[in-house]
Amino acid sequence: MAQRLDKLIASQGTLSRSETVRLIRAGKVTVDGVVCRDAACKVEETCAVTVNGEPLSYQRFVYLMMNKPAGILCVSRDPKVPTVLDLLPPALRRKGLFPAGRLDKDTVGLVLLTDDGDFAHRLLAPKNDIVKRYQVRLDGPLTEEHCRRFAEGIVLADGTLCRPATLKILEDSEQPLAEIGITEGRYHQIKRMFGTVDRGVVWLKRLSMGPLELDPMLNEGETRPITEKEWAELAKATNFVQHI
Ligand code: URA
């Protein structure tokens, strides 16, 4: 799809529209090997564009993996509290990014940020059965009976029936560590599920969304683009056809 040269360059996130226009007018931008000084010139996504001599690697959408720390809101903007978007290094910032699926302010771990609405929608749609795995620390012991009840489908305090969830006890103690897998994303879902069996969540970390696993090399607060392989696996799991 053809679009204005200044818009195409600015959409990649590293330069503002006005910086882009300045560079174009200064003759610092080429299209298919020819200097172009017209910011409104229509170019195809397949054109070879250089900015300051560097090739522009055009990506229609971006997909970022973040290891979210506690205390950060999982929304695009908030006037008071820092959000996941505020944590992005400037090179990864881009208009239209949003978190695909929310974590609570105190929950840590995997967040996928994208500007691809269809992709996010498929990832979150319960009918696609994408399992979100979490590690959870609780304030009281767990038994196999709890695991059985989670597998049957917990009924929340407001009467909502949850889809079956897997619950595995990883560390059996007074404050046990467990792993839970759910295929929906209701508000405070895991905390509310444990609330029905009188257990409070003291720590919660998302480990994966379908085939996408949190990269153990990412420290809390860090973000990296997902790889082509990770994208392809996610796309396959959600029957998504469009390519990056
Ligand atoms: N369930 C919760 O209760 N909180 C989260 O952040 C994610 C799932």
Report residue 71's pLDDT band, with 50, 70 and 90 as the boundaries.
very high
Quick one: pLDDT at residue 56? Answer: 87
Residue 243, in any domain of the structure: no
Q: Are residues 84 and 197 in the same domain?
A: no
Q: Are residues 193 and 142 in the same domain?
A: yes
What sign for the dihedral angle of Cα 112, 117, 122, 126?
positive
Q: Are residues 79 and 112 in the same domain?
A: yes
Quick one: pLDDT at residue 239? Answer: 83
Distance 87 CA to ligand 1 centre (A): 20
Q: Are residues 199 and 136 in the same domain?
A: yes
- The structural domain count of the chain equals 3
- Is 240 a residue whose pLDDT tops 80? no
Q: Which of 38, 104, 106, 139 is catalytic?
A: 104
- Is 243 a residue whose pLDDT tops 80? no
Ligand 1: does its nearest atom lie under 6 Å from the Cβ of 67? no
Q: Note the pLDDT tens digit of each residue in 139-186.
A: 999 999 999 999 999 999 999 999 999 999 999 999 999 999 999 999
Q: Are residues 201 and 221 in the same domain?
A: no
Q: Are residues 103 and 155 in the same domain?
A: no
Report the atom number in ligand 1 closest to the C-alpha of 74. Answer: 6
Q: Are residues 106 and 155 in the same domain?
A: no
Tell me how far apart the alpha carbons of residues 60 and 62 are, in angstroms, rounded to a whole number: 7
Quick one: pLDDT at residue 244? Answer: 46
Q: Is 106 a catalytic residue?
A: no
* pTM for the whole structure: 0.86
Report the atom number in ligand 1 closest to the C-alpha of 188. Answer: 3
Q: Are residues 187 and 81 in the same domain?
A: no
Quick one: pLDDT at residue 220? Answer: 97
Residue 160, in any domain of the structure: yes
Which residue range(s) make up the domain with 158?
A: 131-209
Ligand 1: does its nearest atom lie under 6 Å from the Cβ of 191? yes
CATH number at residue 225: 3.30.70.580
- Is 103 a residue whose pLDDT tops 50? yes
- The share of the chain scoring above pLDDT 90, in percent, equals 81
Distance 143 CA to ligand 1 centre (A): 21
Residue 244, in any domain of the structure: no
Q: What is the mean pLDDT of residues 106-123?
A: 95
Ligand 1, atom 3, lies closest to the CA of 188
Ligand 1: does its nearest atom lie under 6 Å from the Cβ of 103? yes
Quick one: pLDDT at residue 213? Answer: 98
Residue 173, in any domain of the structure: yes
Q: Are residues 221 and 121 in the same domain?
A: yes
